């Protein structure tokens, strides 16, 4: 039996060990900061961002706190997008996803093995709040494409701004399937909400972002989605039970382009790019602009087009001319990219109907089928021997 002295020694030892373990768990989370400062001290997390003012890049960086941004999909692109915005000091993030973190996600940035099994939105919010407690969050662990969730999703775009009842400032699409993109497109057309689409190819070596102003630039339904050609063998075997490839590099570059464009749009610096592609194998970066399709299937898109035309017509003539000039694609394009169509005859026909002239290095994800009254005649457009359904299925993983 131990003596009292020995027991007391043991207690002191245990108390010390306990304190040491507690110390480890005491995460040094930084305090909230009520006002952004330009002060150059090690303890100021905003000093390098506020320096953008002194460098003559941004007039009023503090304004970043006034914006609310929706991020739909917090996977390989969306999680890094949300992290960048949080570190930049965005006012509010609204995150939507219904996936769980898995070890199979560890080849991309952001999530860590200890978060396996957690809902992605919950894991993302926890990490991002530790990184920047000044950011407000709303997170929704659901699929936006079901009827009920879609209604709620639209409501949050319309009323989820920083001031209660006000709309958000921008919607970012970081999803990996066609249905979710179409849902975002439908919601944004109906609400007249500006959004940016992003995507990465199934073979992991290309990606793109596309800025959509309903009525002013092509919506996602106006024409087959544009993707970056990778000059790789497209006949590669794709079976059931296989997964798409992905790389942290391509995902981070696309997220970087997406958030850079977001910052340029929200804070008013540089040029907001309408379409920017990334071909990683050859390191080329196609850009282009697309007007909306006057025969778009989405009635809200048609309505937004009419509104845009009315607004343009109402502008004084000199201003209208300036706007016209902005519409010219690549006017100050330093690469002298010419918009020469690479499409085949069949594709050109489809493309003409939807007013697409493709920049070099871009292709449509599928071709538009001929009108129904032609079907059955054996003359349907089948440029690649694949049906539209097959091609749409492929798009799901873009």
Residues 17 to 56: which contact a copy of itself by CB under 8 A? 17-18, 21-22, 24-25, 27-30, 40-49, 51-52, 54-56
7 binds a copy of itself (CB under 8 A): yes
Whichever of 135 and 364 has its CB closer to a copy of itself, that residue is 135
Residue among 119, 188, 243, 301 flagged as catalytic? 243
State the Cα–Cα distance between residues 317 and 83, nearest whole angstrom.
43
Piece of 187-195, 230-238, 311-319, 366-374 that binds a copy of itself (CB under 8 A): 230-238
Element (H, E) at 15: helix 4-25
- Sites for a copy of itself among residues 342-361 (CB under 8 A): 360-361
375 binds a copy of itself (CB under 8 A): no
State the Cα–Cα distance between residues 153 and 147, nearest whole angstrom.
10
Whichever of 40 and 306 has its CB closer to a copy of itself, that residue is 40
The answer to whether 162 and 67 have CB atoms below 8 angstroms apart is: yes
340 binds a copy of itself (CB under 8 A): no
Long-range contacts of 20-27 (CB under 8 A, 24+ apart): 27/130
- Sites for a copy of itself among residues 101-140 (CB under 8 A): 102-104, 106-109, 112-114, 116, 127, 130-132
- Sites for a copy of itself among residues 234-293 (CB under 8 A): 236-237, 241-250, 252-253, 255-257, 259-260, 263-264, 269-271, 273, 276, 280-287
What is the nearest approach in angstroms of a copy of itself to the Cβ of residue 131?
A: 6
The answer to whether 159 and 166 have CB atoms below 8 angstroms apart is: yes
The alpha helices in 26-173, defined as continuous H runs, are 47-54, 78-87, 120-131, 147-159
Whichever of 350 and 364 has its CB closer to a copy of itself, that residue is 364
State the Cα–Cα distance between residues 58 and 310, nearest whole angstrom.
32
Residue 319-338 contact track with a copy of itself, rule CB under 8 A, x = bound: -------------xxxxxx-
Whichever of 303 and 363 has its CB closer to a copy of itself, that residue is 363
Total of chain residues touching a copy of itself, rule CB under 8 A: 104
389 binds a copy of itself (CB under 8 A): no
Confirm whether 88 is a catalytic residue. no
Classified as helix, coil or strand, 144 is coil
Residue 63-102 contact track with a copy of itself, rule CB under 8 A, x = bound: -----------------x--xx--xxx------------x
State the Cα–Cα distance between residues 246 and 105, nearest whole angstrom.
9
Q: Are strands 362-364 and 226-228 parallel, antiparallel or unpaired?
A: antiparallel
The label of the residue with tokens 């090690």 reads 42
Q: Are strands 287-288 and 275-279 parallel, antiparallel or unpaired?
A: antiparallel
Whichever of 22 and 163 has its CB closer to a copy of itself, that residue is 22
State the Cα–Cα distance between residues 337 and 339, nearest whole angstrom.
6
Q: Cite the beta strand spans of the chain per DSSP E.
A: 68-72, 92-96, 136-140, 170-173, 195-200, 206-212, 226-228, 275-279, 287-288, 362-364
Element (H, E) at 178: helix 178-191
Tokens of 3: 């003596």
Whichever of 117 and 152 has its CB closer to a copy of itself, that residue is 117
- Sites for a copy of itself among residues 198-217 (CB under 8 A): 202-205
């Amino acid at each position: 039996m131990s003596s009292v002295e020995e027991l007391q020694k043991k207690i002191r030892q245990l108390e010390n060990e306990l304190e040491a373990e507690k110390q480890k768990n005491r995460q040094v989370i930084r305090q909230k900061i009520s006002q952004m400062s330009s002060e150059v001290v090690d303890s100021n997390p905003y000093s390098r961002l506020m320096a953008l003012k002194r460098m003559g890049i941004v007039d009023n960086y503090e304004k970043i706190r006034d914006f609310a941004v929706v991020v739909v999909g917090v996977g390989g692109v969306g999680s890094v997008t949300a992290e960048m915005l949080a570190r930049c000091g965005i006012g509010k993030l609204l995150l939507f996803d219904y996936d769980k973190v898995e070890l199979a996600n560890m080849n991309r940035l952001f999530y860590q093995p200890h978060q396996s099994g957690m809902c992605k939105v919950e894991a993302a919010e926890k990490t991002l709040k530790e990184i920047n407690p000044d950011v407000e969050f709303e997170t929704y662990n659901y699929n936006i494409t079901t009827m009920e969730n879609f209604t709620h999703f639209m409501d949050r775009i319309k009323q989820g701004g920083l001031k209660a009842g006000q709309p958000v400032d921008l919607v970012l699409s970081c999803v990996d399937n066609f249905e979710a993109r179409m849902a975002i497109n439908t919601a944004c057309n109906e609400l007249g909400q500006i959004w940016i689409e992003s995507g990465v190819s199934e073979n992991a070596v290309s990606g793109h972002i596309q800025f959509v102003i309903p009525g002013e630039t092509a919506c996602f339904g106006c024409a087959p989605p544009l993707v970056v050609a990778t000059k790789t063998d497209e006949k590669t075997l794709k079976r059931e039970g296989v997964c798409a490839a992905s790389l942290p590099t391509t995902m981070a570059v696309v997220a970087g382009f997406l958030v850079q464009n977001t910052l340029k749009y929200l804070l008013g610096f540089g040029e907001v790019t309408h379409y920017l592609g990334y071909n990683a194998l050859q390191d080329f970066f196609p850009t282009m602009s697309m007007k909306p399709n006057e025969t778009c299937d989405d009635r809200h898109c048609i309505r937004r087009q009419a509104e845009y035309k009315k607004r343009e017509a109402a502008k004084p003539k000199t201003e209208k001319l300036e706007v016209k000039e902005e519409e010219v694609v690549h006017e100050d394009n330093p690469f002298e990219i010419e918009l020469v169509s690479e499409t085949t005859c069949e594709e050109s026909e489809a493309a003409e109907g939807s007013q697409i002239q493709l920049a070099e290095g871009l292709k449509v994800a599928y071709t538009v089928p001929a009108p129904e009254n032609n079907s059955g005649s054996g003359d349907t457009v089948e440029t690649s021997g694949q049906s539209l359904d097959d091609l749409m299925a492929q798009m799901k993983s873009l």
